[in-house]
Amino acid sequence: MPDLTETPLLLLDRDRLDGNILRMRNTLAPFDVTLRPHVKTNKCLEVTERLFEGAKGPITVSTLREAEFFFAAGYTDILYGVGIAPNKFAHAARLLEQGAALKLVLDNLQTARLLADFARDCDSSFEVLLEVDCDGHRSGIPPDSPLLVDIARLLEGSGVKVSGVMTHAGNAYDSQSRSDIEAFARQEREAVVNAAGLLRKAGFETPIVSVGSTPTALFAQDLAGVTEVRAGVFAFFDLVMAGLGVCDVQEIAVSVLTTVIGHQPEKGWVIVDAGWMALSRDQGTAKQRVDQGYGVVCDLSGRPVADLIVTAANQEHGIITSRSANPAAVQALPVGTQLRILPNHACATAAQHAGYHVLAEERRVGYWPRISGW
């Protein structure tokens, strides 16, 4: 691959991307579910179009900025997957008025009451999913809690419709084995299906039953009762996913191109021009069996180089060392050498960049811009 331009910059391997998308599509094919991919990972029209083979399918977003951006591009069925805050009601209402089929998420009576009041005062209509806590990882309502029904009843007649339930098996990212992931997938499904059953028993239709995380989506054995699956990082994968055994390192589609700018021979360091501003500060592999520091070092074709990782990152400097303190591996990288760094967390690393330099067969074939902001 030739020298593209000044570094650091974000690379996207199009063939790996397409292979990862096909894997998810084939994995979910036996189940009667809709894929509602989370586009927070890519924040890019060209990538999202490949998720749907050019169609405009349902998506999940993490910011209203994303919702605006993708709606303007023709994506109308949008789930804003973060608990809605009162200071965003008006923004959501504007999107609905423009024709977006926007769905919001909430998990408490206070937000429900405020949204109901806003809907009445502004003569607006909203559609919400109630967030279910399937594993104690983050937000949500316990799947057997009467609060689910209390919220649904509070919202009746207010212009706010409860259309279903959703959950996210965040603890799957702490799995130690495939069997752990499969267990979290069962727990995720059971929690959200049981919550939907509780609402239906109380007289609420609850047509949407939504689950989602890349590990559980790829290793779920039963999705009975689930209507849609949300996942996002599967399109790119990263070192956290590789550490879980969800993917192979050679399937990671994004990397940061960097250049060697110096050495500290007595310390066994190679200095590159990609620091945390290019790689992010994410150290998501630190709790896994293999700590990958700030990223795995690869050659220009994307193959790992010896046992080299980025062990430290300043704002614009990255420090590469050999796990085994092998001086030969370090000495083989003279100033000017270009390398690729595989990210711990694809979402965090991609967020540091304005767009993707797209590769196919190790040649640059285009540039795909990303969006940012809230």
Which helix (H) or strand (E) is 276 found in, with range?
helix 276-279
pLDDT score recorded for residue 125: 97
The mean per-residue pLDDT over the stretch 169-187 comes to 95
Residue percentage of the chain with pLDDT more than 70: 99
Tens-place pLDDT, residues 189-231: 999 999 999 999 999 999 999 999 999 999 999 999 999 999 9
The reply to whether 214 and 301 lie within a common domain is no
If pLDDT is split at 50, 70 and 90, which confidence band does 2 have? very low
> For tokens 């994303």, what's the residue?
66
The mean per-residue pLDDT over the stretch 233-244 comes to 98
The reply to whether 86 and 60 lie within a common domain is yes
The reply to whether 257 and 206 lie within a common domain is no
122 within domain boundaries: yes
How far is the C-alpha of 18 from the C-alpha of 253, rounded, in Å?
Answer: 9
- Residue 16: alpha-carbon gap to chain centroid: 17
Would the pTM of this model clear 0.85, i.e. be above it?
yes
Tens-place pLDDT, residues 103-134: 999 999 999 999 999 999 999 999 999 999 99
Cross-strand pairs, 260: 272
The reply to whether 223 and 124 lie within a common domain is yes
Mean pLDDT of the chain: 96
The reply to whether 188 and 301 lie within a common domain is no
How far is the C-alpha of 66 from the C-alpha of 41, rounded, in Å?
Answer: 11
How far is the C-alpha of 12 from the C-alpha of 297, rounded, in Å?
Answer: 16
Cross-strand pairs, 341: 256, 297
Q: Which CATH number belongs to the domain containing residue 142 in this structure? A: 3.20.20.10
The reply to whether 285 and 227 lie within a common domain is no
Residue 251 tokens read as: 């399937």
The reply to whether 221 and 292 lie within a common domain is no
How far is the C-alpha of 279 from the C-alpha of 295, rounded, in Å?
Answer: 8
pLDDT at 328 over 80: yes
Contact at 8 Å (CB) between 139 and 131?
yes
Contact at 8 Å (CB) between 368 and 44?
yes
24 within domain boundaries: no
Residue 139 DSSP one-character state = S
Contact at 8 Å (CB) between 330 and 268?
yes
pLDDT score recorded for residue 4: 61
The reply to whether 84 and 130 lie within a common domain is yes
pLDDT score recorded for residue 329: 84
Cross-strand pairs, 304: 298
- How many domains would you assign to the chain? 2
pLDDT score recorded for residue 1: 47
pLDDT score recorded for residue 3: 55
Kind of pairing between the strands at 126-132 and 208-211: unpaired
The reply to whether 254 and 223 lie within a common domain is no
The reply to whether 314 and 360 lie within a common domain is yes
Residue 307 DSSP one-character state = E
pLDDT at 316 over 70: yes
Residue 62 DSSP one-character state = S
Tens-place pLDDT, residues 55-106: 899 999 999 999 999 999 999 999 999 999 999 999 999 999 999 999 999 9
Q: Which CATH number belongs to the domain containing residue 314 in this structure? A: 2.40.37.20
What domain range includes position 223? 38-231
Tens-place pLDDT, residues 144-158: 999 999 999 999 999
